[in-house]
Amino acid sequence: MKNIIQITFLLISLFSFSQTSEIANIFEELDNNEKKTVIELFKKKDITNSEKYLKYIDSTLNNTNKKSKIYPIILSLSVVSFEENGIYDKAINGYNELLLLDSSKENAILNRLSLLYKYDNQIDKSIEILKLQIKKFPEEPIGYSNLANTYISIKKYDEALKVLLSNKNEVRLDDELRHYATIYLFKNEIYKAKNKIDEYLKTEFGKGYFEGFLIAAKIYSKINDKNSSCEYIIEAEKLFSNIKIDPEKTRADSISMNYYNSNKDEILQIKKESCEKQ
């Protein structure tokens, strides 16, 4: 049962909670040798030498029959491992192969591919994938949010706003509020930005990420509310300091680190203007 739970967590990282039973069912259908192979892959995942592990899992994948029941599991684990270690070309190839194996997961895989292209600085390709995702799955809010965020990252704020406004779904992601706030901030529509960031910081998602508080600090600095600006910048730094995992090895933390560092001068300026006693 412990091994089934471990494999289930792998599926969660790739797709969604609704599909966690699939991989458990697959595991039950494996023969003893196949089960042993999967268990060994998870055991070796804990070794400190990531390069050695990647070679091991790559070798295991290459020596596994593509028509076997175990192949999608090994491929999934290899994709996650390559992505975690910033080997984006192999991760991208792996996701494309997963898509061929199971087209029912196309929305989730397109989402991962768009992010990988973005991490690999292939922004045009990322945008292309996201537009395809929205076209094929207009009812899913994640494509709109990620495309808007990608346009924001290259400072195409009008394009980002157009994408957000085109989302007609009732269900919205909390991140959209942060995207709106960022767009309005840079378009100098400060009170629109303030309303959106205030709403975002009330969400459970918004309360836990430093990016929202950093944007709030910038917005409140613009309206000369120094007390609020100071409080938000301090909270942003506190949340950022909670990142403990090595940013060179963990993609999400590396992105947060880069985002923070790219705003460092402005952070120091806000602290100087808002937090220091006049």
Q: Is 277 left (phi over 0), alpha (psi -120 to 50) or beta?
A: beta
Calpha distance 204→148 (Å, rounded): 21
185: Cβ contacts below 8 Å, ≥ 6 apart: 193, 215, 218, 219, 222
The whole-number pLDDT of residue 254 equals 62
Q: Would you tell me the crossing angle of helices 210-222 and 264-274 to the nearest 10 degrees?
A: 50
| Cβ-count burial 35-71 (b if 16+ within 10 Å, e if not) | bebbeebeeebeeeeeeebbebbbebbeebeeeeebb
The terminus-to-terminus CA distance of the chain in angstroms comes to 62
The whole-number pLDDT of residue 15 equals 42
Residue 95 has pLDDT above 80, yes or no: yes
pLDDT bracket for residue 218 (50, 70, 90):
very high
- Structure tokens of 153? 């990252």
User: Exposed/middle/buried for 124, CB within 10 Å: 0-12, 13-18, 19+?
Assistant: exposed
The whole-number pLDDT of residue 246 equals 52
The whole-number pLDDT of residue 46 equals 56
Residue 269 has pLDDT above 80, yes or no: yes
CA atoms within 13 A of residue 38's CA, in its CB half-sphere: 30
Q: Is 246 left (phi over 0), alpha (psi -120 to 50) or beta?
A: beta
Domain regions of the chain by residue span: 1-101, 189-278
What is the DSSP code string of 111-135?
HHHHHHHHHTT-HHHHHHHHHHHHH
Residue 252 has pLDDT above 60, yes or no: no
Instruction: Kindly state the average pLDDT of the residues 103-127.
Output: 91
Instruction: Kindly state the average pLDDT of the residues 100-110.
Output: 86
DSSP state of 174: T
Let me know: does 219 contact 185? Beta carbons within 8 Å.
yes
Residue 88 has pLDDT above 60, yes or no: yes
Let me know: does 220 contact 229? Beta carbons within 8 Å.
yes
Q: Cα 30 to the chain's mean position, in Å?
A: 32
The whole-number pLDDT of residue 235 equals 93
